[in-house]
Amino acid sequence: MSSIHAAPPIIDTSLVAQAANLTPQERAKFYNRDLDALQGNLGYEFNDKMLLDEALCHSSFAHEHGLYVTNERLEFLGDSVLSFVIARALYKIYPDASEGELTKMRAALVCSQSLIERAVKIKLPDMMLIGKSFKFDTPKSLYEDALEALIGAVTLDGGILAAEKVIKKLFLKISDLQALSEFDYSSLNLNLNINKSKPESKNSNNKNNNIKIKQESNLPKVNSDFKSKLQVWLQARHLPLPEYKLISSTGPDHAPEFLVSAKIYINNDKELSAQASGTNKKRAEAKAAELLLKELEELKLI
């Protein structure tokens, strides 16, 4: 008596093996696709090209030709991997962001429009195999699905680290992180003192640029995005994250004055520091970060 868990018969599901089912025009498209260019745009070369073929084959094409291969299962996998990798990256980049803030940032990076734009940028639509029903009016959601399928294929072919590398290349460039500044960071307390090992000075006369204390103006709103901009600049150069420290808190309860310092290391023997004051700690930190950014501009590092 056969078991209900018996393994299914082995079938060669590769598109190459099934190419006989394609018309001459479709075979020409299949073989003439520049998959090397696509892999170059991904920053990853597949070991198993069957996985790449599978990721590019939409179900409409497969159903029209009786093929076994579609990209739906890979899409399922890639969607989960993409969400996880982006979530973990944002968790590390913004250690004090709340769940709600992290959710909004992740949504901005993995929303449909974002996926479609990135798929078009790597010329993924030109590589896809799509059925005749979509020949003249291809829903852009198919590009989104194919990109997720590609990420799933990379995961199976090279592992999670390979997928993470591809995702960072496509979704977490400096411009992508800077685009997150469009969110309201006023509620973020990006106290980034998570790198406890400080670069040691090579001499006792450490090149320390101390910026004069600058009082906060009476403007009702301060651009707190200076902290995230400073953080992005440092992370792009693999430098330690900023250190913010509360120096003092003075004044009456109804009109407190907070003095904070901010410090960054721009190489092993050079650091920049700034002090600023404000009516709350976040405003003071934002002002200090602004001063450091101005100093970096003066040094022509930005």
Do 155 and 277 lie in a common domain? no
292 CB-near residues (< 8 Å, 6+ apart) = 211, 230, 242, 262, 264, 272, 273, 274
pLDDT by residue for the chain (302 residues), tens only, comes to 444 554 444 344 555 555 556 665 666 566 668 899 999 999 999 999 999 989 999 988 888 877 778 999 999 999 999 999 999 998 888 877 788 888 888 888 998 889 999 999 999 998 998 888 787 778 888 999 999 999 999 999 999 999 999 999 999 887 787 777 554 434 333 333 323 333 444 443 444 444 433 433 332 333 446 887 787 788 777 788 888 999 988 888 777 888 999 999 888 778 999 999 988 888 888 899 999 999 988 888 87
- Structural domain boundaries, residue 145: 19-182
Do 47 and 173 lie in a common domain? yes
Do 139 and 270 lie in a common domain? no
CATH number at residue 231: 3.30.160.20
Do 216 and 97 lie in a common domain? no
Q: How long is the chain? A: 302
* Residue 216, in any domain of the structure: yes
Do 57 and 160 lie in a common domain? yes
Q: Annotated active-site positions, please?
A: 79, 148
Do 116 and 54 lie in a common domain? yes
Question: Tokens 């995005």 identify what position?
Answer: 225
Do 168 and 25 lie in a common domain? yes
Do 151 and 26 lie in a common domain? yes
Number of separate helices (H) and strands (E) present in the chain = 12, 4
